[in-house]
Amino acid sequence: MIYVQANGHRQVTDIQPGESVMSNAIAHGIEGIVGECGGFLSCASCHVYVVGTLDGLPPLGDLEDAMLEGTAAPRRDSSRLGCQLFIEPPRDGVEIEVPPAQ
């Protein structure tokens, strides 16, 4: 995974099968991805922007769609919740832009 902060700072991590982007970001201490509810689709504090294609990602669920309406940073077409984002099979180079606020 590649995480890009608003200030351009980049961090690269390995993601494991079955690990969500939120869990991956938390485990590696990525600033700006909070995941306060631990992945229960309850807080929208793991909001991320996917850079590039959304193909091959799990589809946007109804609950996720609803929670994205309440994000601290503006919602974009590329907005997802990291707790619902599984990269299967894990592959290199998936890039995530971290929003300026959660």
Partner 1 sequence: MSSQRALVIGAGQAGLQLAESLRAFGFEGSVLLAGAEKGLPYQRPPLSKEFLLAESVAPTVFRSGEFLESRGITLLDGHRIVSVRRDAGGGEARDSTGRTWAFTHLALTTGACSRVLDLPGADSPAVHYLRDLAHARRLGNAARSPRVRRVAVIGGGFIGLELAAAMTALGKSVTVLEVAKTVLARAVDQRISRYVEGALLNRGIDLRCGVQPVAVLDSPGRATEVLLGDGTTVSADLVVAGVGATPRTEIAESLGLACAPGIVVDGRNLASDNRTVAAGDCTQPERSLFNPLGLRLESVNNAVTQARVGAATLAGVEPPPPSVPWFWSVIGDIRLQMAGMPSPGATADVQGDPLSGSFSIVFHQGATLVAVQCVNDPARFAAGRKAIQRGSVIRPGQKP
Question: Rule CB under 8 A: which residues touch partner 1?
Answer: 23, 26-29, 36-38, 40-44, 63, 66-72
H helix or E strand, kind and range, residue 64: helix 62-67
Collapsed DSSP state (helix, strand, coil) of residue 4: strand
By beta-carbon proximity to partner 1, the closer residue of 43 and 46 is: 43
Burial (0-12, 13-18, 19+ Cβ within 10 Å), 40: exposed
CB 44, min distance to partner 1, A: 6
Residue 4 CB, shortest distance to partner 1, in Å, is 19
Residues paired with 5 in a beta bridge? none
Measured from the CB atom, the residue of 25 and 51 that comes closer to partner 1 is 25
**CB closer to partner 1 out of 70 and 100:** 70
